[in-house]
Amino acid sequence: MGAKSKTRKKNYRKKKQSTERNDYKVKRHLLKKTLIVAIAVFFTTIILAVGLKLYSDISNREMMKRYFLQVNYKFSNVSYVSDQLFMGEYNGKWFIFKAKNGQLINKKGFERVLPEKEGLIAIMEDGKWGFIDTRGQEVIKPQFANVGNFIDGRCAVYTGKGWGVIDKTGKYLIRPDYDEININSERYICVKKGNKWGIFDLKNKKIILNPTYQDIVILKYPQAAIAKEKDNYYLLKLKDSSVEKMDVKFTDYKLNVDRWLPVKIKDKWHLLDLKTMKVTYSKGYEDIWGYEEGYLQLRQARKFYIFTANGNLLEREFNINSLLIPAGKYLFVNNYNGKITVIDLMKSRIIRDFDAEEIISFDNELLALKRKNKWGVFTKNGKEIIEQKYDAIWQVFPDLYAIELNKKWGLLKANGGTVGKIEYDLIGQAREGLISVLKNGKWGVIDKNGMLVLKNQYDQISIVNKDVMIAREKSKWFVIVVDKPQKNQYSIRKFKIEAD
């Protein structure tokens, strides 16, 4: 029994040692394999990183090539065509490309290009003007010596012998038989022969007044015009097939406001009613000024009165030195006595007088008032919306304001809550939800929620639209394309504009 026991123990020790050696071999093999895998992964990562960097560089170069025509093209000048198009000059020729992706719309350069109007772009080729559309397709063959801009689907063109008017297909609406043409009405066109002016009716496709007068102006009121003959002006009533010269004559006139035309008869100014073709308010004033915003200022003896477009004369008189501030349907009168009067032009009435030094009107029917050098926001009835504590304020968007406090600028919501920190040196251009901001002497861009779009590293920035910006960094210019934000972060594509 003893000998067998010793033998079993000896065999057990040998087996154990053998197992341990095998385990060691297995472990060493596994360790070696793991090390090899780790080294392979390490070098693969390096190769991939380098590869991705190279791919990125190549992709960027390819993108640059696509954006700027060919790799060898270097624009000596870049200019605006429309919100979606730019043009670059290369070797004296102009090439038009899309702002968002750099795609060319014309492979052949043009001698000159004008900004887009009503969907058409005037281009010069071989010394002649024609038109292409925003896709680069020829619409009107180059054939004119000079062209104007399209206005309501019509354009004045010069053949070298005379001026005419074409439509968007190139068809003549008025033959090129005139020395000069003015398009200032949808229907009636002023035409000049020699030194005299007449009127062409586009609706009836004929001359309704032969060139007779020294000058003719079509008024912004239906069927009304003014003609000059020697030293006097006359009112013309334009009919379907003829022109009637009215009896009233005057020595001077000013901008009409709706149906009210200021005219000077002898030494006094009166209002001529274009609806009745008769002079009203025959009392006469020292002067009358009309404003496109919809009111007239009647001046007399260092005072003035407000006359509204709907024909009402406000009873209150104002000092001649008061400042008029138009704001949509409202008119503010700063009396420079600590009072500012608010007038509703549509209702022809005075709303109230504010105790304020300055006033600004905002699009959402709110007012910014300055008192004791501090600004706040109020309703037209005087209710405070934003506390009066800011050094400056202006409206960025209908629901957002730029405010200055202690020499720093920030953004403020209509409810008074700030958007981010008040930390900028200046708030600049605001367009389509984007805002340029100056910080530490460099420009960047944020959106209206305060999210960073472009870091503050540029010396100059212009926001073209929500997708495209032009920026300058030292002497280098860039086109920057903005992509939609993903996970609270914008991504951009940046293209250098190289000059020879």
What are 88-137's pLDDT values in tens digits? 888 899 999 887 777 889 888 999 999 999 999 999 999 999 999 999 99
pLDDT recorded at residue 118: 96
Hey, what are 206's tokens?
């004929």
pLDDT recorded at residue 485: 75
pLDDT recorded at residue 173: 96
pLDDT recorded at residue 495: 76
pLDDT recorded at residue 371: 92
pLDDT recorded at residue 19: 44
pLDDT recorded at residue 497: 67
pLDDT confidence tier of residue 452, bands split at 50, 70 and 90 = very high
Whether residue 490 has pLDDT greater than 60: yes
Lowest mean pLDDT among 11-20, 265-274, 325-334, 461-470: 11-20
Q: Which long-range contacts (CB under 8 A, 24 or more apart) does 443-451 make?
A: 443/471, 445/469, 446/420, 447/485, 447/490, 448/396, 448/397, 448/400, 448/411, 448/419, 449/419, 450/411, 450/419, 450/420, 451/485, 451/488, 451/489, 451/490
**Span 358-401, pLDDT tens digits:** 998 887 788 899 999 999 999 888 888 889 999 999 999 988 99
pLDDT recorded at residue 280: 84
Determine the average pLDDT of the residues in 451-468: 92
pLDDT recorded at residue 498: 57
pLDDT recorded at residue 50: 37
pLDDT recorded at residue 408: 96
pLDDT recorded at residue 453: 93
pLDDT recorded at residue 74: 66
Whether residue 12 has pLDDT greater than 80: no
- Report phi then psi at 20, rounded to 5: -65, -40
pLDDT recorded at residue 58: 37
Whether residue 274 has pLDDT greater than 60: yes
Looking at the DSSP bridge assignments, the partners of residue 260 are 257, 273
Q: Which of 282, 306, 279 is nearest to 295 (CA)?
A: 306
pLDDT recorded at residue 494: 82
pLDDT recorded at residue 484: 75
Whether residue 290 has pLDDT greater than 90: yes
pLDDT confidence tier of residue 14, bands split at 50, 70 and 90 = very low
